[in-house]
Structure 1
Amino acid sequence: MSDWSATTILKFLEAYHNEPCLWNPKDAEDKDRQKVNDTWTRLSIIMNKSVKELKTKKEILMATFRRHLKKKKDSIRSGAGSDDVYTPVWFAYDLMESF
């Protein structure tokens, strides 16, 4: 895989966020396979990376995001005080939580 700096990852997440057909199951185009494929192709051109590489990176980012989200939810559920609630410090967490 090619280089993925934090800046590149954030650029990818911003571009991905702007394409709700990829991440929002309520989006009208979510089920349109051709639109979804066209969107991945467009992101591939924007990012200058293969569709396969982008999809792999998305899965890796989602796995990390889910791990932080679970930790946060578990700390809230434990009845901990607000000071004890886990606050993710991972650079992409806030952006990913926004969609």
Structure 2
Amino acid sequence: ASNMEWSKEDALRLIEAFKSFPVLWNPGENDYYKKNKISDAWRDIAMNVGRPEDDCQRRIICLLLSYQTEKLREIKSIATGKGSSEVYCSRWFAYEALRFLEDRVKPRPRIDTVS
């Protein structure tokens, strides 16, 4: 069952499950670096979607890479100062569902605490 295709619906369900575990994607999360919390989260996600953990992880990696590519295309099209009609708008099915990761893609300013 490992090579089963992922339908768009299944992929979106996977994204929703992934989103509900910030420990997997938010470095500001207290448990972000705790291995046991991470494996618990993946186990829950796998049960939720009814797929093996490694399948879920592989699929999420693919989805995240695609999201990053789409997001960077959008950022570049805005940065070139094109008119709004020429700004790249992603039509990729999972783009909106992954918008919660937006802050992880755009370059974040570093804040120096030295005053």
TM-score band (shorter)?
A: over 0.9
Structure showing greater radius of gyration is 2
Distance 1:70 1:3 in 2: 27
Does 2:25 align with 1:23? yes
Q: Give the TM-score taking structure 2 as reference length.
A: 0.82
Give distance in 1, aligned partners of 2:77 and 2:5. 34
* TM-score (norm. length: structure 1): 0.95
The CA distance in 2 between the partners of 1:85 and 1:47, in whole Å, is 35
Stretches of structure 2 that go unaligned for 5 or more consecutive residues are 102-115
| Structure 1 residue runs of 4 or more that deviate by more than 2 Å after TM superposition | none
Secondary structure at 1:97's aligned position in 2? helix
Pick the aligned partner of 2:76 from 70, 74, 77. Answer: 74
Query: What's the secondary structure of 1:61's corresponding residue?
Result: helix
Computed over aligned residues only, the root mean square deviation of the Cα atoms, in angstroms, reads 0.9
Query: Which residue type is aligned with residue 44 of structure 1?
Result: A
Structure 2 CA distance for aligned equivalents of residues 98 and 19 of structure 1: 12
Following the alignment from structure 2 to structure 1, what is the Cα–Cα distance between the partners of residues 21 and 70? 23
Unaligned runs of 5+ in 1: none
